[in-house]
Each structure stands twice: as C-alpha cells, then as structure tokens.
C-alpha cells in the first residue's frame, strides 16, 4: 500500500502536492493528516475561502496556500500582491474594486 499527499505542503521552502514524488527524508517530516492511501477514495476538499486582503490572516503564506489549493501556479519569488493578482487572473478570487 502506497501513500500520497492529499493536499499541498511546504517543507523547507519547497512545495509538494498530490502528484509530487516526496523524498523519504521529507516524507517523515509531514504529518499523517496530509497523507492518504492510494487505494482510498478521494474526499472532495471543502471550499476554501480567500484570505482577507488586509489585517490578520492576510499574509503571503495564507495567500500562497489559497492559490495552491485553487490550482493557481505560484513561484517562490512572487510577492503577496503577485499571488493575489494571479488568483484574480485565474478566477479563484474576485478582483477588488
């Protein structure tokens, strides 16, 4: 029985997701909650609400996680504003007016 990630995680600045080959040295640092058996049925993820654009919870880590959970491609050198713009362009979040 093999396991695969059921979500996206970051370990030492590297992102891993359900289709990633995770090295054993990294896999042992990821909690059991982030894994599923390959033969287990996938449960649909709950809808993810966009982080606030200002104030508590509006940091780059929150926006990066939101973007990745919604299939928006992000790079490690992107700023928070770049990530928000990419999420807007992908239709994952409404544009701010």
Q: pLDDT of 4-47, one tens digit each?
A: 898 899 999 999 998 899 999 999 999 988 998 876 555 655 66
Same domain, residue pair 94 and 51: yes
The one-character DSSP state at 4 is: E
Q: What was the pLDDT predicted at 1?
A: 58
b/e per residue, 17-26, with b = 16+ CB within 10 A? eeeeebeeee
Same domain, residue pair 53 and 24: no
Same domain, residue pair 54 and 33: no
Q: What is the number of domains present in the chain?
A: 2
Model pTM? Answer: 0.54
Q: What was the pLDDT predicted at 40?
A: 56
Same domain, residue pair 24 and 63: no
DSSP 3-state of 13: coil
Mean pLDDT (whole number) for 38-65? 81
Domain of 22 in residue numbering reads as 3-37
Same domain, residue pair 86 and 55: yes
Q: State the number of CA atoms in the 13 A half-sphere of 37 facing the CB.
A: 4
In this prediction, residue 3 has a pLDDT band, given cuts at 50, 70 and 90, of confident
Residue 25 CA to residue 46 CA, distance in Å, equals 29
Same domain, residue pair 50 and 81: yes
Q: What was the pLDDT predicted at 72?
A: 92
Same domain, residue pair 54 and 31: no
Across-strand partners of 5? 35
pLDDT value at 92 more than 70: yes
Same domain, residue pair 51 and 94: yes
Q: Mean pLDDT of all residues in the chain? A: 88
Burial of 36 (0-12, 13-18, 19+ CB in 10 A): middle
Same domain, residue pair 84 and 50: yes
């Amino acid at each position: 029985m093999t396991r695969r990630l059921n979500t996206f995680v970051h370990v030492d600045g590297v992102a891993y997701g359900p289709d990633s080959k995770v090295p054993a040295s990294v896999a042992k640092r990821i909690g059991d909650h982030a894994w599923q058996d390959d033969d287990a049925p996938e449960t649909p993820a709950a809808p993810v609400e966009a982080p606030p654009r200002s104030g508590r919870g509006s940091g780059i880590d929150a926006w990066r996680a939101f973007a990745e959970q919604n299939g928006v491609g992000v790079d490690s050198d992107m700023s928070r504003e770049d990530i928000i713009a990419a999420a807007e362009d992908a239709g994952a979040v409404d544009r701010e007016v």
